Chains A and B, each alone.
Chain A
């Protein structure tokens, strides 16, 4: 009658969703910072150059 395992199942679901809710934003922030770092280095690479293009 104690339905012990139902309680455990419910609390596991609770913990799992809260964990996801904790991790997801942290991953997003880390991903944004990595993207920004990439963009910062990319700006430096292609300087607009003026010399004429040629296709011999």
Chain B
């Protein structure tokens, strides 16, 4: 058997996944933290203030990576859910449900930083800018998936039902985005493009890429940690969990 296939197959057994996640989650967290530290340092101190927005544009360095992460996490969740539904792989069910809280956290960051960044621009905390509205609805989709997962008692049914909702959600997401953009153009004409691709001079890019990579690494760490918790919860009856829980006398 091809080593990668064997590895993936091995990962399917809960005790092996427990050891794998316990080892790799902290590593991914720390790596993410380091890369983000570099990115934040660059964002806050190295990059010159913007002539028009002053320092407030530095919020871009956490807003944009979080926005991309919230979309990527939802797509990944739907992908895991599809695999879990079609091939009934328990590991993918756990990973799909582990994506939801992390994705919701990044969506929350995107919304909060977006509204804080918009305050000096629009004078209000909230503007029905198409992208912010889509992000808000994305948060509702995340909360829907998490709510459904916790509402059903049987863990496997819950993850498959919530997985199906994630797939329906990811199919409708572009439609929601398009409809909100169309709606905006109908009512307010073109507000100033807050997040328009204003000309980014090259010196501003490295911290942005560092932040993007950092958030992705952090995402992997958080995903593994949450999957580990859910895995333990599902296997709580088995004796390998009891042995693991034994206080190391």
A and B in direct contact, judged by CB atoms within 8 A: yes
Give A contacts to B, CB under 8 Å.
Answer: 1-4, 6-7, 9-11, 13-14, 17-18, 20-22, 24-26, 28-29, 32-37, 39-40
Q: How far is the CB of B25 from chain A (nearest CB, A)?
A: 8
A40 and B229 in contact (CB under 8 A), knowing A10-B112, A17-B105, A25-B222? no
- Asked whether A35 lies within 8 Å of B236 as measured between CB atoms, the reply is yes
B119 contacts A by Cβ under 8 Å? yes
B108 contacts A by Cβ under 8 Å? yes
Q: How far is the CB of A22 from chain B (nearest CB, A)?
A: 7
Give the size of the chain B interface in residues (CB under 8 angstroms): 42
Give Cα A28 to B28, complex, Å.
Answer: 19
A6 and B218 in contact (CB under 8 A), knowing A29-B229, A37-B245? no
Checking B59, B116, B236 against A36 with a beta-carbon cut-off of 8 angstroms, the contacting residue is B236
A20 and B229 in contact (CB under 8 A), knowing A14-B62, A36-B242? no
Checking A3, A13, A26 against B225 with a beta-carbon cut-off of 8 angstroms, the contacting residue is A26
Closest chain B residue to A30 by CB distance?
Answer: B229
**Dominant secondary structure at the A interface:** helix
Q: How far is the CB of A42 from chain B (nearest CB, A)?
A: 11
23 contacts between A and B (CB under 8 A): A6-B116, A6-B120, A11-B44, A13-B109, A13-B113, A14-B113, A17-B112, A18-B109, A18-B218, A22-B29, A25-B25, A25-B229, A28-B230, A28-B233, A29-B225, A32-B229, A32-B232, A32-B236, A36-B242, A36-B245, A37-B246, A39-B236, A40-B242
